[in-house]
Amino acid sequence: MPILNEDMSLCISLSGRPSNIGTRFHNYLYEALGLNFVYKAFTTHDIAAAIAGVRGLGNRGCSVSMPFKEAVIELVDEIEQSAAAIESVNTIVNDNGVLTASNTDYEAVASLLAAHSVDPSLPVLVRGSGGMAKAVVAAFRGAGFDDVTVIARNIEKGSAVCPSSRAPT
């Protein structure tokens, strides 16, 4: 755990069920990068009040987990294309009271596809139907991939992530 000081920037996780894994990961990276940041996880049942707290307390930002990824869209000032494309937010940055929402899962996949010039005629198989799967499918579709299949335990959830994907036979 970093030693707290008055110049430290606070980043938080807002989740229905936060875990210590993300907290340890973020704090490890902040220390490794020499950043004067600390990351703490919080549970909330009132996402509007929590987001108002991020703004009002001057937190540097927050990560957003289920079940709040869609609900926070109406609570921020700006929405980057990565979040708008899938109507799902996983990161909010606070720049002097201006809250900007993005989806770093979408950004990471889109960036990797562009950096490695992956052939969009290749078939894509995505396993799962959660928020990450939604971001992955949208990033592949945004990069011109047409042959995208989702494998999910629940056919309705899988179809919602990738409406034109093929159902398993």
Please write the tens of the pLDDT for every residue from 117-145. 999 999 999 999 988 999 999 999 999 99
Instruction: Report domain 106-161's class.
Output: alpha beta
Does domain 9-102 correspond to CATH entry 3.40.109.10?
Answer: no
The catalytic residue positions are 69
Please write the tens of the pLDDT for every residue from 14-45. 988 777 888 999 999 999 999 999 999 999 99
Does the pLDDT of residue 165 top 50, yes or no? no
For the chain, the domains span: 9-102, 106-161
Q: What is the DSSP string of the chain?
A: -PPP-TTPEEEEEEESS--HHHHHHHHHHHHHTT--EEEEEEE-S-HHHHHHHHHHHT--EEEE-TTSTTGGGGGSSEE-HHHHTTT--SEEEEETTEEEEE-HHHHHHHHHHHHTT--TTS-EEEE--SHHHHHHHHHHHHTT---EEEE-SSHHHHHHHSTTSPPP-
